[in-house]
Amino acid sequence: MSTATADIYRPGLEGIIACETAISSVEGRQGAGGLEYRGYPIEELAESATYLETAHLLLHGHLPTQAELDAFEDRIRAARAVPEPLIELLRNVPRHVHPMDTLRTSVSVLAHYDPDLAASPTDHAANVRKAERLIGQMATAIAYRERIERGLPLLAPRDDLDHAANFLYMVNGEVPSETKRKAFDVSLVLYAEHELNASTFAARVTVSTLSDLHSGIVSAIGTLKGPLHGGANEEAWKVLEQVGDPDKAHAWITAALGRKERIMGFGHRVYKTGDPRARILKRYCQQIAHEAGEDRWERIAEPIEREVTAQKHLPPNVDWPSARLYHYLGLQIHIYTPIFAMARVAGWAAHVIEQLDHNRLMRPRARYIGQPSRDVEPIEARG
Ligand code: ACO
């Protein structure tokens, strides 16, 4: 057997092109860096398109006309109702279980009740229908579990509210102000897709065996959970709390970096000079904090950013401002990463569908660094 391919080795697959995609690019215009979904700059989408317009773009390949958007929103609204056995299960999962674990289980359960359960994994139209249903269902599953955690009655989805406002209403029991709705919707747009990040890669690997869309999304949720990926938005909030005072930022960051700790919410495998999503979301954080007359966390975040940039040349990533934004929206830390997942499901599903439309089994090689070839000794001779 040839060993030639095993000679190409990069730990963490850094810089390796593992697939072709038409869904998003982190190269930006003329390779100048920046995030684009199907050719549209993220800055313009955040400004001008809602999360559901963006999800339509990712799943269907183009920004919807008004008629297409109306029909798409109707289908998502219809999918907000989840099967009763899932609600029962969400009530019975032990209290201490992390919402990312209950979300992973929820998607598995939703697969059992999906009307396209029997469809071929490569049925493009069925996969799009499954993806659309998951966008509506995952938001409901997260909101219901959160209400159960808080010991509050469940709130039925409201047809008069859009995706962002309905989710905040179903969690908090209040219709958000327009500023809050827009800020949350922008965060969903920014989280919706990001090329071949770890969770998307996991989803594509899973379905490359001709497994089904729901299995790909379950793999992705398990992968997103880790603190080096989606779990960082929860950890970023803990950094803010631990620093606790703008005047303590210098000493806290110096000590943490001295202990070789990672400052969560900073650094990125691809964006070495700055994550464009962080710049966009920071403006919304500042606006909401200003309107609420509560700028304490903005005042703490600022010197932390300065210190990490000065001492380690690491700019913030999207999880840094999103942690503050979700705090301002009255959301508890443990649903920050599930919110990331409820937005990213559009991107994950688009990648799953793209993979299945042009499938090739993903099966890389490993370089063997263990013992040289040897004979098995009889058990009496081992020791
Ligand atoms: N805090 C402190 N040091 C860091 C950080 C950080 N957040 N990130 C990287 N470094 C340091 C490393 O310790 C290393 O230092 P060294 O050269 O002195 O040993 C150097 O920067 C390079 O680090 P790598 O691990 O090679 O960088 P990589 O590209 O693999 O890291 C990652 C990317 C995992 C995101 C990293 O920056 C990190 O751990 N950040 C914190 C977790 C985080 O915020 N994750 C969210 C990512 S964005 C997202 O998922 C939406």
pLDDT at 185: 98
Q: Is 311 in the pocket of ligand 1 (CB under 6 A)?
A: no
**Residue whose CA is at the smallest distance from ligand 1 atom 36:** 267
pLDDT at 292: 85
Q: Is 230 in the pocket of ligand 1 (CB under 6 A)?
A: yes
Domains of the chain plus CATH, in order, are: 22-226+333-357 (1.10.580.10), 232-328 (1.10.230.10)
Query: How far, in Å, CA of 229 to CA of 337, rounded?
Result: 9
**Residue whose CA is at the smallest distance from ligand 1 atom 35:** 268
The amino acid occupying position 35 is: L
**Residue whose CA is at the smallest distance from ligand 1 atom 44:** 265
Q: Is 147 in the pocket of ligand 1 (CB under 6 A)?
A: no
Joined tokens for residue 162: 């859009």
Instruction: List alpha helices for the chain, DSSP H.
Output: 42-48, 51-60, 66-78, 84-92, 99-113, 124-149, 163-172, 178-191, 198-207, 213-224, 232-243, 249-258, 276-292, 296-312, 319-328, 336-357
Tell me which residue has tokens 């304490």.
Answer: 296
pLDDT at 1: 46
Q: Look at residues 82, 89, 57, 338 and name the one whose alpha carbon lies nearest to residue 199.
A: 338
User: pLDDT, tens digit, for every residue of 48-100?
Assistant: 999 999 999 999 999 999 999 999 999 999 999 999 999 999 999 998 999 99
If one counts every other C-beta atom within 10 angstroms of the C-beta of residue 133, the result is: 22
Are 369 and 81 spatial neighbours (Cβ–Cβ below 8 Å)? no
Joined tokens for residue 321: 């401002």
Q: Is 228 in the pocket of ligand 1 (CB under 6 A)?
A: yes
Q: Which residues contact 138 (CB under 8 A, 6 or more apart)?
A: 103, 106, 107, 341, 342, 345
Q: Is 182 in the pocket of ligand 1 (CB under 6 A)?
A: no
Mark the ranges of the chain whose per-residue pLDDT is less than 70: 1-6
Query: How far, in Å, CA of 357 to CA of 61, rounded?
Result: 14
pLDDT at 5: 56
The CA distances from residue 161 to 77, 168, 193, 206, in Å, are: 9, 10, 23, 35
> Which of 266, 277, 304, 344 maximizes ligand 1 atoms within 8 Å of its Cβ, making it the mutation to test the pocket?
266
